[in-house]
Structure 1
Amino acid sequence: MSTSKRGPATHRPGSAGDVWLRSSGRTGREALPLSRDRIVEEAVALLDAEGADRLTMRRLAERLGTGSTTLYWHVKTKDDVLDLALDMIFAEVEIPPGDGRGWRAGVTALINGWRAVLLRHPWSAALLGRPMLGPNVLARSEFLYATLLDAGVVEPRLTAAAYGLSNYVIGSALMQSTWLADADEEVRRAARERLRADRERYPALAAHGPLATDGDWDTGFAIGLTWLLDGIEAGLATTGDGADGADGAARA
Structure 2
Amino acid sequence: MAAKRSDIPGKRAQPMQDRSEPPLSLERIAGTAVELLDAQGVSGLTMRKLADRLGSGVMSLYWHVDNKEDVFDLALNLVLEYHGPPQVDKSQDWRAEVVHMLEDWRASMLRHPWSASLLPRRALGPNILNRLELLSKILSGAGVADADLNIAIWSLWNYVMGATITRASFDLTDDDMAAAQQCLTRLSEHYPTIERSRLLLDNDWDGAFRKGLDFLLDGLSPR
TM-score (norm 1): 0.73
2:216 to 228, 236, 241: 228
Displacement of 1:215 in angstroms is 2.1
Residues 41/163 of structure 1: CA separation in 2 closer, same or farther (3 Å cut)? same
Residues 204/125 of structure 1: CA separation in 2 closer, same or farther (3 Å cut)? farther
Query: What pairs with 1:60-209 in structure 2 (closer than 5 Å)?
Result: 60-91=50-81, 93-96=82-85, 97=88, 99-179=90-170, 182-184=171-173, 187-188=176-177, 191-192=180-181, 194-208=183-197
Residues 98/78 of structure 1: CA separation in 2 closer, same or farther (3 Å cut)? farther
Displacement of 1:131 in angstroms is 2.8
Displacement of 1:174 in angstroms is 1.0
Q: Where do 5+ consecutive residues of structure 2 fail to align?
A: 8-13, 18-22
Question: 1:248: which partner in 2?
Answer: none
Identity of aligned residues (%): 43
Q: Please provide the CA RMSD for this pair.
A: 2.3
Displacement of 1:44 in angstroms is 0.4
Question: 2:207: which partner in 1?
Answer: 219
Residues 217/69 of structure 1: CA separation in 2 closer, same or farther (3 Å cut)? same
1:42 to 24, 27, 32: 32
- Aligned residue type for 2:74: L
SS at match of 1:51: helix
Question: 2:5: which partner in 1?
Answer: 26
Displacement of 1:159 in angstroms is 0.9
- Aligned-partner Cα distance in 1 for 2:6–2:177: 52
1:75-95 C-alpha deviation (Å, 9 max, x unpaired): 22222111111110111x332
- Aligned residue type for 1:94: H
- Aligned-partner Cα distance in 1 for 2:49–2:195: 43
TM-score (norm 2): 0.82
- Aligned-partner Cα distance in 1 for 2:3–2:176: 46
On the 8 A contact 1:119/1:173 being kept in 2, the answer is: yes
Displacement of 1:141 in angstroms is 1.3
Residues 202/154 of structure 1: CA separation in 2 closer, same or farther (3 Å cut)? same
SS at match of 1:37: helix
Displacement of 1:132 in angstroms is 1.9
Q: Where do 5+ consecutive residues of structure 1 fail to align?
A: 1-18, 238-252
